[in-house]
Chains A and B, each alone.
Chain A
Amino acid sequence: MKNIVSIKTKISNFIINVDINLKEGINCFFGPSGAGKTSIINCIAGINKAKESKIIINNKTLEDTNKNIFVPIHKRNIGYIFQDSRLFPHLNIKNNLLYGLKLNYKKKKIFHYDEVINLLSLSHLLHRFPYNLSGGEKQRVAIGRALLCQPDLLLMDEPLASLDQDKKDELIKYIVKINEILSIPAIYVSHAISETFILANCVHFIKNGTLIYSGNRDKSINFYNKNENFIFRDSYIKGKVIKANLSEGLTKIKLGKDSLTVFSNTLHLDQNVIVKIKATDIIISTVIPDKLSSLNYLKTNIEEVVFQEGLACLILNYEKNTIKALLTKKSYTKLNIKKGMQCYAIIKALNINDVTNINLV
């Protein structure tokens, strides 16, 4: 199946110039706010008109400025889940869901009404109106409404952005569930890297209106860890739970050949997770740190040292993974650190994206 998005356009003074090949499953458009991600998907949906474009979705040409093709929005067959849900205020939930379904009744049904309602737990909301739904519930209805119009492509524009953390975790689980049965490609726009890594099959990094990198999840994690644009932020490593709910309430997570111990009672055995390590949560030691209270350290190689704003940023190599650590210049000089040296990264705290039942392979 061919899914190509090629857009060259200018919106006020902002230039967008991207060529993106969409892969199967969820394609995340990741980048900072104002990078042009939403403008790109608005072009795909036909809401924005690009100066030069070639958009092919599911082998159908939606736009080709060379051949003067521009399929209008309502004939594009694209399900769009907006950041602000945009449920129709004058219709109840049932009629909101049916709106797209009724208009596309002739199409081959990929998503059935009952199935979607079950999947998104909407049955108790059907007779209510949008104004008395919570933010998370509204987004679930918006997802259901978009699926029921039997789209060839699903667009999600930061659907979690207006939700609090609990609701975010809850909605992510629903999106993961949908992804399991989704037979169409989807684009998920986000500026939050953790949800990007949880959901993406393929990540497209977008900055200043251009595509700077495309790759599957593993490659993207590496790219993100190494990329200078994100240098002072966090590092992400894939891991697997090898021991859960030990007598002390501790959980062991295997990363490469080492394992880290965390305090958790939500993780279960054999679960795949992505571990997030903040650059400021790492202490560097040149000797084996066996007399410390911290339980977690990794043996690493110093690949690169970058100085920025009076701080030394160490780029550490741990079994093909990149971990970033921040030191003050003073401690950097004291330790006499050099490129290529071996050192131990002691991890003070880690953050685990513990979305249950996610297959990260």
Chain B
Amino acid sequence: MKREKFGIKENHIFIIATMALIVLLYGYGSIAFAGFFSTQVFLNLFIDNAYLIIVATGMAFVIITGGIDLSVGALVALISMVSASLLEAGLNGFVVMALSLLIGIAFGAFQGYFIYRFDLHPWIVTLAGMFLARGASFLISTDSIVITNETYSAISQAKVYLFGDHYISIGAVVAIIVVAIAIYIAKWTRFGRNVYAIGGNVKSAGLMGLPVKRTTILVYVFSGFCSALGGVVFTLYMLSGYGLHLLGMEMDAIAACVIGGILLTGGFGYLIGPTLGVMSMGIIQTIIMFQGTLSSWWTKIAVGFLLFVFILLQRLIVMKRRKRNVIRLKKVRNNVKVQSPSQSVSSEYK
């Protein structure tokens, strides 16, 4: 099937660049460090970053509409806190999970409604949401709460064997399912396409009769849901709740999206991107772990550097796109009209 025929071809460049980066980094690690080139090391990327993949995927939809969600990291911390305290109080594990997801959905819907209804900048609304969620987690307790609930412990320790004795966690399975669903939504549903249209030109989208309001709110609902799901997965991974968990994680999620080729200006990007972004960052972290002598803060330096490179790359491509030749109608006789990709046109035609 000629899948790429439908897509936004320019974006393949970003995805290819990110994939090349992953191969390069992984190749470097494999050569430099013994034991790096193992299936389990690779699978651990998913296990250790499952929550981030989920959150970044939710974030990607928001960014594609041209928005941003800064509340995700705090929301994950809040979910970890709420879960831990409710479990401590003796609630059933599955009930706690369901409640967590409901909190995320409500939180996202609230933010989305504000952003749409009062035409507020998402940056400021979700910043408020971030403070609210972070503060609320300390309201529950200022200390870390350890989770001893049997259901959580069991799920946490469960291993899903893929082949041989290589395994991934339940959290990683959830992450992969979320990514698959996200890719489907983005490509094959009206909601997904409306997200791209709004990111491209919100005024046009409105004039074309697209449900701008519903889509905007739903995008934040989806991000809230993903954050909550990420929160549940993270809680399972850590088996504790703490208000200081994941400080600044929203920035990691945004970085993952950018490295994965989601343009911050909206309208462009593939939903596999955030996962690739998270993996690049995960591999850097693993390399630094294997290296042993470098402080783990070097991960941040490397990611910072990568971001610069990727933002620059995206910018250059966008600028080139503006300058490049557009396809114009050829001078025609009679009724045959042909495209001619070679004719150039001055920049005011964009």
Co-complex (A, B): no
User: Which positions in B face A, CB cutoff 8 Å?
Assistant: none
Residues of A within 8 A of B (CB): none
